[in-house]
Amino acid sequence: MLQKRRTFLKTTSLGLSVLATGTAYRCQGKSTPIANVTHPVIISTWDHGMAANKVGLNILKNKGSALDAVEKGVIVVENDPTVQTVGLGGFPDREGNVTLDACIMKGDGQCGSVAFLQDIKNPIAVARKVMEKTPHIMIVGSGAKQFALEMGFKEENLLTEASRKKYEEWLKTGVYKPKINIENHDTISTLALDANGHLAGACTTSGAAWKMHGRVGDSPLIAAGLFVDDEVGAAAATGLGEAVIRTAGSAMVVEAMRHGQSPEEACRSVCLRIKDKHKDISDLQVGFIALRKDGAYGAYSLQPGFTYALGQNETHELYQATSMF
Ligand code: SD4
């Protein structure tokens, strides 16, 4: 089935976009937008990134901010109960609780995050509130839920019938092997460049299915699951969070771009680092997407099967990322 899908996909070795028409410039100590970026770009992980990009690109084309584009884009996926790795309908932990992780970041360094959040279906919107309404960056667990309720979010049961059935199926064996992300669905990470040359990113997930109660992955961690810097570019991760955390994955991708690597090269070099840090990577999947401040984009994964969605101009395309194996 995956094989079939690939025939529809375009493979890029280097996603150089032709969108940035202006000259980049920098000011000391302050991130500065690129002049004259005429067309925005949005890139998201996995097939469900298409739905996020459609909403996000529309916002960008109407001169909306990259921040609004990524937030409103991923909310579409959080609200979709058929996506069982994000938001409503996410797979629960081994005790049957759906616990959500998310973070959001702007190119000027502002960011917000929630982890181990229960009963609130839009963790990305709560993360944005943490960024905008508190002096903090990260709030977790019952504190995050309390904050969400204070901000007017609604408490609801996130365990759908379909996910409960899968969970009960899993309970029959109860074998915990976090082999995630080899399938073609997972965390949604979205990066956007707006018409003013500002970048933003959002990352939201229900994490590894059947995880230990309280386990938190890379997705709500700034630098691991997501990193954005208007001076350079943005990057986000999908895959086994533990592997991404131990390499500070997304920040490393941005730093590799800072040192001159293309977006795809940068994603690849961090995948190589992850490969070198693990004895057995046969069941390990990690993928990155990256968007440079001039609109160039790229992706790379350890294992084949990682797709990413790209929206720009009037078009939305799904691509197969280049992989190590
Ligand atoms: C995690 N990175 O919690 C997430 C899992 C995931 O696509 O779904 N990645 O480890």
Q: Is the CB of residue 76 less than 8 Å from the CB of residue 233?
A: no
How do strand 10-11 and strand 315-320 relate by DSSP bridges? parallel
Sheet containing 315-320: order of strands? 10-11, 315-320, 307-312, 41-45, 188-193, 199-205, 100-106, 111-117, 138-140
- Interval between CA 239 and ligand 1 midpoint (Å): 5
Q: What residues does ligand 1 touch, defined as CB less than 6 Å away?
A: 85, 180-181, 186-187, 205, 207-208, 217-219, 238-241
pLDDT of residue 155: 98
Mean pLDDT of 167-173: 93
CATH architecture of 47-159+177-323: 4-Layer Sandwich (3.60)
Among the listed residues 170, 190, 184, 145, the one whose alpha carbon sits nearest the alpha carbon of residue 51: 190
Atom of ligand 1 nearest to the CA of 86: 8
Among the listed residues 183, 192, 245, the one whose alpha carbon sits nearest the alpha carbon of residue 216: 245
List the catalytic residues: 187
- Interval between CA 91 and ligand 1 midpoint (Å): 12
pLDDT class for 46, splitting at 50, 70, 90?
A: very high
Quote the pTM value: 0.89
pLDDT of residue 33: 44
**What is the C-alpha separation between 47 and 287, in angstroms, rounded?**
14
pLDDT of residue 231: 97
Minimum mean pLDDT range among 74-83, 92-101, 275-284, 309-318: 275-284
Q: Is the pLDDT of residue 151 over 80?
A: yes
Domain ranges of the chain: 47-159+177-323
- Interval between CA 45 and ligand 1 midpoint (Å): 11
Q: Is the pLDDT of residue 147 over 50?
A: yes
pLDDT in tens, 258-290: 999 999 999 999 999 999 999 988 888 999 999
